[in-house]
């Protein structure tokens, strides 16, 4: 691997910052301490800082040379509302909050790159370093964009990166097209007429209607969506009744829908709505149908993904730059890719041997109470960011 020696030498210092952030995790739009740490370091390194976009967002701006061209790099800062199982010294000090997805590491890698870029400025143009709040369900990227992110900091392209389980340290993955799914939620309330379970003929029972609806929804993907498209419809919550001898008035269903395109999402939502309304009408049940679109699909633009792959290959060799297998997980970097061309890449985090094994061994999976970011990624991720900036601003516009 062709790592930048100065970044490698400074990696322990950056890892200490990362572990400090891990010990004090903060949830969506509460990343005050984290933002303070980021802003302090950027200021210390002579980087102009803007704060407050998306409530707690931080944007650092570096300029060199005379070119008006600009690129953006993004890292997320927030943690998850879950209890950590690790016992190491930098485990969470905040009960019920944990960096279980590696956003502390993403922040650290971008900080390492920021320090090097500021010191050497071996590029011609501008790089905006976006430290984003509230990726875990809060839509921090959307909020930063709504508040003028790309108007205040215009760029040609934006790039993001996530540590990822299932591969060796030193492997990347990047591809054009959809790489993460849209995330959507639904809530359906079936209103019948409750009564005595021994006299069902005097009631309008919503329970069998709910059962039919759950089964009918499984035909949407298998019989309405094209087989070459992907979608997941999952009913994950069913609430009904309070006593065994009472037919309830209502049944509530909730769940999620995931797709890789908005066209398929439109189709699935409309089909779900139609099935619920018509099935309810057939049984005399009134239907309330709510569908909330959360994160859109994360879709890399082909040219930017190809460029990212070239930079990765120069660092680790072409054989270590893999095709990016799409995942049904969601990511709010999708909003940035709706606004600008760019690429969201994966950096594999190894076999998990770097962490406590209290939650079983194996790869370091995300959203796991025994998760810990692999600090061995810091030099590689930071070097990638540096070389991406230098290469992008050196190429023809």
* Domain definitions of the chain by residue range: 5-181+297-394, 183-293
Q: What is the pLDDT of residue 166?
A: 86
With beta carbons less than 8 A apart as the criterion, state whether 380 and 314 touch. no
Quick: pLDDT tens for 255-287: 999 999 999 999 999 999 999 999 999 999 999
* Unique residue bearing structure tokens 């970011």: 373
**CATH code, residues 183-293:** 3.30.70.360
User: Which architecture, in CATH terms, is 5-181+297-394?
Assistant: 3-Layer(aba) Sandwich (3.40)
Average pLDDT of span 221-239: 97
252 Cβ neighbours under 8 A, 6+ residues apart: 187, 188, 189, 190, 237, 238, 239, 240
Average pLDDT of span 185-203: 98
Quick: pLDDT tens for 101-144: 999 999 999 999 999 999 999 999 999 999 999 999 999 999 99
If we measure between CA atoms, which residue out of 284, 274, 263, 258 comes closest to residue 188? 274
62 dihedral zone (left: phi>0; alpha: psi -120 to 50; beta): beta
With beta carbons less than 8 A apart as the criterion, state whether 21 and 14 touch. no
- H helix intervals, 196-246: 206-223
Report the first-to-last Cα separation within the chain, whole angstroms: 28
Q: What is the pLDDT of residue 135?
A: 98
Per DSSP bridges, beta strands 298-300 and 177-180 are antiparallel
The structure's pTM equals 0.94
- Ranking 60-69, 156-165, 345-354 by mean pLDDT, the lowest is 345-354
DSSP tag of 80: B
d(CA 61, CA 49): 7
With beta carbons less than 8 A apart as the criterion, state whether 339 and 145 touch. yes
């Amino acid at each position: 691997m062709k790592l930048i020696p100065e970044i490698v030498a400074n990696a322990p210092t950056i890892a200490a910052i990362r572990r400090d952030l891990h010990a004090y995790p903060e949830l969506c739009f509460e990343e005050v301490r984290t933002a303070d740490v980021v802003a302090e370091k950027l200021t210390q390194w002579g980087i102009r800082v803007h704060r407050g976009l998306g409530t707690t967002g931080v944007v650092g701006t570096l300029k060199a040379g005379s070119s008006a061209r600009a690129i953006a790099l993004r890292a997320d800062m927030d943690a998850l509302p879950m209890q950590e199982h690790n016992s190491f010294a930098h485990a969470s000090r905040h009960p019920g909050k944990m960096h279980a997805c590696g956003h502390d590491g993403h922040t650290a890698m971008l900080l390492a790159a920021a320090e090097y870029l500021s010191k050497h400025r071996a590029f011609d143009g501008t790089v905006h370093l976006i430290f984003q709040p509230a990726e875990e369900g809060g839509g921090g990227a959307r909020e930063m964009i709504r508040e003028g992110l790309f108007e205040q900091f215009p760029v040609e392209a934006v790039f993001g990166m996530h540590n990822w389980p299932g591969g060796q340290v030193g492997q990347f993955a990047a591809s054009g097209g959809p790489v993460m799914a849209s995330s959507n939620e639904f809530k359906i309330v079936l209103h019948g007429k409750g009564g005595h379970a021994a006299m069902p003929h005097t009631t309008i029972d919503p329970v069998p209607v709910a059962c039919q609806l759950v089964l009918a929804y499984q035909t949407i993907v298998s019989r309405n969506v094209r087989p070459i498209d992907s979608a997941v419809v999952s009913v994950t919550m069913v609430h009904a009744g309070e006593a065994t001898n009472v037919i309830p008035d209502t049944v509530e269903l909730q769940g999620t829908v995931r797709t890789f395109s908005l066209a398929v999402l439109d189709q699935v939502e409309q089909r779900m709505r139609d099935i619920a309304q018509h099935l309810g009408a057939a049984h005399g049940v009134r239907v309330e149908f709510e569908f909330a679109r959360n994160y859109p699909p994360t879709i890399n633009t082909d040219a930017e993904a190809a460029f990212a792959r070239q930079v990765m290959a120069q660092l680790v060799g072409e054989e270590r730059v893999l095709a990016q297998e799409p995942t049904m997980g969601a990511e709010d970097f999708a909003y940035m890719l709706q606004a600008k061309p760019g690429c969201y890449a994966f950096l594999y985090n190894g076999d998990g041997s770097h962490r406590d094994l209290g939650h079983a061994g194996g790869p370091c999976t995300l959203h796991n109470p025994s998760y810990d970011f692999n600090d061995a990624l810091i030099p590689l991720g930071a070097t990638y960011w540096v070389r991406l900036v230098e290469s992008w601003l050196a190429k023809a516009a």
